[in-house]
Structure 1
């Protein structure tokens, strides 16, 4: 029996979609990383019960940190993106978390820069607050150790390919680190939106959206680029097709970044049928009903989509590109 709802929400499901295609489905993925990070800070004495934890979030991490603070008797202060929706705002309020939401902006970089500047002002006014630094502190890797151990009990890591959104690097990066402890044969495929600096696509603009949560317009310290074997850049229309097909074909209702990861995983599975391909679905599709699923009639058949293989980021273009990263170091634009 679980001691707190965070355990139930953070525990993923392993769903076999095909013989060698598996979905690692979370209700809300960042719950595991936020809870483990807060527990570690308490265990090491970096914070004490009753302290205030502060961070910036586009929504999912805000909810995860609020749950962790509820569980461990902490206060929570969130500087939220313009994308935080009414459902998350309401839950944060009831959980006792304080939310400061930025003014609407169509420029993700401006939104992220404003949030970071606000965090620094809050810390200047409240020096005892602890900044969780979800994009910079690799303590957020800790929560994925148990997830990786569960995966390793089900599959041979040496014959496994992990596919998922990069984001802060804490989820896919952590899974690869833990799965490679005994053998570095586990392959890691990162999924990025166009317009993200993390793997050098900032010069390509997606006119529809930059997929929140898997890309960034500012450098992230805790992305370990040398963990990644392959990178896929997926535009909005391709990701929409993936999300709709994942629901239509496999009855799995997941978010837009899940659709992008599913699309990339299908392709990697076709390239090497000897390996099991596991993709990460970090959240459910509820917050994408209006922007994605009500547009299901617009979705193209995923069988008609294929990535353009590129040898350098200067060749990137919509709607979908793939590049062998070969565990290279970070591009200059992503150096924090």
Structure 2
């Protein structure tokens, strides 16, 4: 197949068998599906037009995806970037034609996201005609993952399936599993969260070493549909690092921290449910984590020696790794009231 644009080629994932019970769905950059699907939908609907500027905030993966989508469809792109956006990613964004503002360094996930949201609102107030993509809140970002789900169904439709991945904006895991459950309601979804994220109640636990970009939040994301998740895992930086290093060492897969965290969580789930196939979402490559993770590989913990604390409710959370049966429970009303 000859693709009309590089984005159409880059979006396609590879399926890699890790063990009998674990398969990795490995993306070059997962959110290309989300950005392409959303932009195409907005163009078809007439909400945006070629030449218009699309704006959003990102910790890296979505910024690259949106820049590619804008390049493909003849749109301008403006990114308010997290401090986790590295030099390599920023350079690619700028060459692709995106304008990039990076917020000042901050020590917490909460401050980083608050600064980005504040700046987005300032831009919208002063630049009429700019369209905010709202990757965290607009459910059009679910649409692109339907194609991925159909690929998964075609590959594994005859085996009980559990999907394991970072929660983040909610669109990737949510979009995949809603589509998969249309044909098999028994598909399980296991979400992965960092400590410090408000999404599933870990905001009072501070991970001192690092922000795990893209899988947690200090603000409420409307695209997270809590009732889709069967179980949750909360992991700190050291455990995500252990998973990422082990994935490279044992399986030659160079992937980011969210993939490392999902790999570790999926291993635990597979030991508990050996009858099921566990699909690990590998959202991106490991390039932006070279200095903070892979150059320190000798410090990585041995995954075989790690196991989570099993809890019954978020109030029992304890670092560095906790897990809980969520059982497709809707977002608690008290959490919504607190966010409001």
- Which TM-score band applies after superposition, normalised by the shorter structure? over 0.9
Question: Could you list the per-position Cα deviations for residues 147-171 of structure 1 after superposition, in whole angstroms to 9, with x for gaps in the alignment?
Answer: 0000000112771000000000011
4+ residue segments displaced more than 3 Å = 331-336
* 2:144 alignment partner, SS class: helix
Counterparts in 2 of 1:271-310, with a 5 A limit? 271-310=272-311
CA-CA distance at 1:74 after TM superposition: 0.3
* 2:119 alignment partner, SS class: helix
Tell me the equivalent position of 2:335.
333
CA-CA distance at 1:89 after TM superposition: 1.4
Report whether the alignment pairs 1:103 with 2:104. Answer: yes
Q: Which moved more, 1:153-162 or 1:87-96?
A: 153-162
Tell me the equivalent position of 1:57.
58
For 1:57 and 1:138, locate their aligned partners in 2 and report how far apart those are by CA, in whole Å. Answer: 17
Tell me the equivalent position of 1:38.
39
Question: Could you list the per-position Cα deviations for residues 69-105 of structure 1 after superposition, in whole angstroms to 9, with x for gaps in the alignment?
Answer: 0000001011111121111111111111111111111
Tell me the equivalent position of 1:217.
218
Cα pair 2:108 2:211 within 8 Å, conserved:
no
Report whether the alignment pairs 1:71 with 2:72. Answer: yes
* 2:171 alignment partner, SS class: coil
Tell me the equivalent position of 2:190.
189
CA-CA distance at 1:276 after TM superposition: 0.4
Report whether the alignment pairs 1:169 with 2:170. Answer: yes
CA-CA distance at 1:107 after TM superposition: 2.4
For 1:266 and 1:300, locate their aligned partners in 2 and report how far apart those are by CA, in whole Å. Answer: 15
For 1:308 and 1:108, locate their aligned partners in 2 and report how far apart those are by CA, in whole Å. Answer: 24
Q: How many residues align?
A: 336
Q: Go from structure 1 to structure 2 and tell me whether the alpha carbon gap of 1:109 and 1:49 turns closer, same or farther (over 3 Å shift).
A: same
Cα pair 2:244 2:255 within 8 Å, conserved:
yes
For 1:124 and 1:207, locate their aligned partners in 2 and report how far apart those are by CA, in whole Å. Answer: 35
* 1:171 alignment partner, SS class: helix
For 1:298 and 1:261, locate their aligned partners in 2 and report how far apart those are by CA, in whole Å. Answer: 20
* 2:143 alignment partner, SS class: helix
Note the residue ranges of structure 1 that are not aligned, 5 or more in a row. Answer: none
Tell me the equivalent position of 2:250.
249
Note the residue ranges of structure 2 that are not aligned, 5 or more in a row. Answer: none
CA-CA distance at 1:296 after TM superposition: 1.1
TM-score by length of 1: 0.98
